[in-house]
Structures are given as C-alpha cells and as structure tokens.
Structure 1
Amino acid sequence: MTMHGIIRSRAYLLPGSDIDTDQIFPSRFQSRVDGRNDLAPYFFHDRRFNAEGQPIATMVLNDPSLQGAQILVSSRNYACGSARPGAIFAHRDFGIRILISESFGPVFPTVCYKFGVLPIELSGGDMAALLSYLEAEPLTMLEVNLQQQRIQLANSAVLEFALDEHVRTIALSGGDELGLTKSHAAEIERFEMARRHALPWLFDTTTKQGADL
C-alpha cells in the first residue's frame, strides 16, 4: 500500500461495539487463507449476504454509492476476539486501507498495519463527533493526513490522532517491516563492518574451527 501521506475517501460506517474477527471473517472460510485467494467475498459475509447468498441491500458494505471506499469507521473495541489473519487480509482485499475506532481488540492493531491496513484510534469525544457526522452525511469525503496525524471533515472540523512512530513510518513508506529494514541497508552494513573491525575474533572461522578441535 502506498499512502503518500494522505488518503481521501468516503467511509463505510459500521456503528456498534465489540465487532469481532468472526463477524469480519467467519471461521468456516479459514481454509481459503493461502495467499492466493481473494478474500473480499468473505468480508463480513454473514452480514452482507442472506441465507440464499443474496446481498442484503441495507448493509452499508453493499451500498453502490460507497463502492471503492478505503475507510471503515466503527464505534469501539473493533476486531476483538481471536487472532485471525484472514480478518486482516479480507479488509485489504475489500479495499479498506484505514480503520477508525475509539479502540481495537488487543491483537489486531499490532499486526494489521504490517499488511497495509492502518488502525487509527480517536478519543471518545472525537469518535462521537465522527459517528454523528457520518450518520448525517454518509457520502462525505474524509481526508486522513498521516504526516499531520489529523482527519479533516468536509465541514472543516479537524480530528487529531496519534500513531506509533514505527507504524507511521511504515504507513508513509507504503511498505512493510522488511522493506523498512532494507531501507537501512547501508547503515546496517556500516555497523557490521565496524563490529568486525572491533571484534575480529567473533568472525574468525579458522580460530573457531581450531577451538572446536
């Protein structure tokens, strides 16, 4: 995911607390998580489709006017429950890049950003303001600025948030933790060279072989 610091998008509003990973990605679809399958069809499957497999028209994720939205907003304790990689990948495959909630389950936010889904927590007051605004203006555009760590609403209101610096760096780079490590390759190489110079005996394979004998 390349965010370029700013995401402008409409938002899916899923009000309610304690939406767990089994709602997001039902466990019976776990076998589809193999790195090859598109998991978007299973995203909130049991809330998006009826028993006959037909889309539920009143479900916000099925609203054609919001198709392509990259932001999902929920109340609090979003993505609680068991750790489930499919729940992360289903967000990503559905096109969700930003999650906004007052709080998240304990595991989900520590992992999802590594796969291109960024969790943002708002204070209770700001969360209430955002929920109220989206209920009144469901087709409004939100602007999420990662550099300034703020959300701009169309009515000029600004909601501020704070990201862990490591998480923000990865989001801004549009990469992942491995890519971030590779970006410091020159510094790592200099450190290794200095370490070899200061502690040559650690890298002397001849000495090690002699000691083993």
Structure 2
Amino acid sequence: MIAKIFREGFWKNNAVFKQVLGLCPALAVTTSAINGIAMGLASTAVLLCSNFVVSLIKDIIPAKVRIPSYIVIIASFVTMVDLLMNAYVHDLHKVLGLFIPLIVVNCMIMGRAESFASSNTPFKSIVDGLGVGLGFTFALFILGGVREVLGSGSLLNFTIFPESFSPAIAMILPPGAFIALGFILFGYNYIEDKRSGGQESQTKEHCAVD
C-alpha cells in the first residue's frame, strides 16, 4: 500500500508528465539541471511539511475555511524555505527568484492537500508528499538536463561534448522549454502505452489459461 502510494505520485500520476501541473516553474527555471533539482527539492520540502500538518489538523479545520487554511499553512512553509535558501544557497536563491514564493500557488501542492492529506493519516500523507515531490524533482531534472545538454553541451556543469560541439542556444531560451517538454511528454506517454499494452496482453493470456 505504501509503495503503491509512492509509485503513484512519483511516476504513474507524475505532476508534470501525467497531470501537467506546475508548468510555470517547470518551464521557467529549468535552464539547467541544477536549477531544476533545486526548485524540485524546495517544492518537495513544502509539500512534505504541508501534507503532514494538514493531515494532523484536518478534523479541526471548519469546512468553510478549509482552502484558506491550507493556503496559510503552505505559505508559512514556503516562507521558511525561501528564507533558508536565501541564507544558505544564496546564488541558487537569486536564480530561482520569484518562483520560490510562487510555490504557494502551485496547483500540485494545493491539490495534494485537498485530495489526499485532508482524508488520510499523517504517515500516508508524508509518503504521498515524498512521492509527488520527488516525482516533480525528477521531471524538472530531466527537463533541465535535456535543455542544458543541448543548449550548452554540459550537464550539472560538467562538459559532455567536445569544444567542436555547436550548442542549440534556443534550448535554454523560453521556446526551448516547450520543445523539450513536448518531446519528453511524447516519450513518457509512449512508455506508458507500451506498459499498458503489455499488462493487457498478460491479463488476456491469464484469462485464456483460466
């Protein structure tokens, strides 16, 4: 059960690849893999903490102020993450800029608080937050990695291609984010279709044997 909750959030219902949520930071900050990882981990920290607190106090929050309460909880943790990043990883904080405070309005985080944490135990909510958050981080790392490799010939600031390589500068510009994401979504859906087809075939074979 716990493993299933994690898998659902990380891959099967990945926030970016499957649900297409959180695209504002996903497209804006992923000019490099490091930026993607930093944004993903910041969102994961907020998601973990907000899921845990919402699941703890879900029974004492009046229904009429449910959503505003979630926003206040999320905003509190976003402020903490923002201040900590500014203090300890100032360079990354400057690069991510406004997109750290904008975690407050990330549909992925609000959606998990409303659809999962508000009706499950704290432990399950933590697992869900970890799965969804790391899935988001993975998606941003892939997108940022593809753009960095094609746009500058490096990955995580390590040179991948020789000096003769001519980088596609457009990949680290806004249009490149949409192009890269389109191809990644195509690959994700292709993998999922192949897996679904294989599972259906196995099910039919078992039924035929029975």
TM-score category by the smaller chain?
A: 0.3 to 0.5
Q: Quick check: which has more Rg, 1 or 2? A: 1
If asked which structure has higher relative contact order (CA below 8 Å, sep 6+), I would say 2
Bigger strand fraction: 1
Q: What is the TM-score when the length of structure 2 is the normalising length?
A: 0.33
Q: What is the TM-score when the length of structure 1 is the normalising length?
A: 0.33
